[in-house]
Amino acid sequence: MRRGQGVLLAIALSLPNAAGGDELIARRLAALKAIADPGAVRAARAARPARDVCSGSRWWRLTEYGLRSRIDTAVRDASLRYGVEPKLVRSVIRHESNFDPDAVSRVGAIGLMQLMPQTAAKLGVVCPYEPRENVLAGTRYLRDLYLEFGRWPEAIAAYNAGPARVSSGRIPAETRVYVRRVIASWRPQLLAHITF
C-alpha cells in the first residue's frame, strides 16, 4: 500500500452507517478497490450514464440564483484560465444551450456548451452536465480551435461543425448562421471579417 492510501482506507472504513449494512459494505469495498486500482473508478463512471454519476453534485440546482451563480463563476474561471473573453464564452453558451445545463442535442451534445461525448471524454470531463466542468472543457476546446485556425470565425465554426469540415471548406449552412449569431452577440464588428 502506498503512502496516503492508508489514510484513504481509514476514511473509507469509518464512513457512518447511513445505509443498510450490505450497502455500507459494498461502498467500503468499492473504496478499497479504488485505492488498489484508480482506473476502476473511471471505468465505473464511464459505464454509468453521466446524469447518474453527477446527480449527487447538483445541489446548486435548488435555486435559480444557485445555477446563475455557478454559471457566472464557471465562465469567469474558464475565461481567466484559457484567455477567452467571457462575453464570447457566454455567447457560445447562449447559442448552444440557452444556459440550460441539462440540454442534450439531437446528435447527443451535452450541457451548457454542448460537448459531444467523445470530445468531453478527450478533455477529461467526468460530469458533462455540471456547469463548471462543461464550461472549462468547452472554453479550452474553443481556445484550442482558435490556436489551430488562427481566427475566431473559423474556430467558432469548427466548434459547431467539427474541425475537419472547416479545414476542408465544407461548412454547413446552419453552421454559417450559427457563427454569425455567436459573433453578433459577442463582437458585431467582426461580422464584416467572416470570409465563408
Catalytic residue (choose from 23, 96, 133, 154) = 96
In this structure, are residues 116 and 138 in contact, taking their beta carbons and an 8 Å threshold? Answer: no
Q: Is the pTM of this model over 0.85?
A: no
Class of domain 59-193: mainly alpha
Instruction: Give the C-alpha separation, 56 to 164, whole Å.
Output: 37
Does 96 participate in catalysis according to the annotation?
Answer: yes
State how far Cα 87 lies from the chain centre.
Answer: 18
Instruction: Give the C-alpha separation, 135 to 78, whole Å.
Output: 7
Q: What is the DSSP string of the chain?
A: --TTHHHHHHHHHT----S-HHHHHHHHHHHHHHHH-HHHHHHHHHHS-HHHHHGGG-GGGGSHHHHHHHHHHHHHHHHHHHT--HHHHHHHHHHHHTT-TT-B-TT--BTTTTB-HHHHHHTT-S-TTSHHHHHHHHHHHHHHHHHHHSSHHHHHHHHHH-HHHHHHT---HHHHHHHHHHHHHH-GGGGGG---
Task: Read off the C-alpha cell for 67.
Answer: 445555477
In this structure, are residues 28 and 16 in contact, taking their beta carbons and an 8 Å threshold? Answer: no
Residue spans per domain, the chain: 5-47, 59-193
Cα Rg for the chain, rounded, in angstroms? 20
pLDDT value of residue 109: 96
pLDDT value of residue 108: 94
* pLDDT tens, per residue, the chain with 196 residues: 555 555 544 544 554 444 445 655 665 555 555 545 545 444 544 444 445 556 545 555 556 677 889 999 999 999 999 999 999 999 999 999 999 999 999 999 999 999 999 999 999 999 999 999 999 999 999 999 999 999 999 999 999 999 999 999 999 999 999 999 999 999 999 999 899 9
State how far Cα 78 lies from the chain centre.
Answer: 11
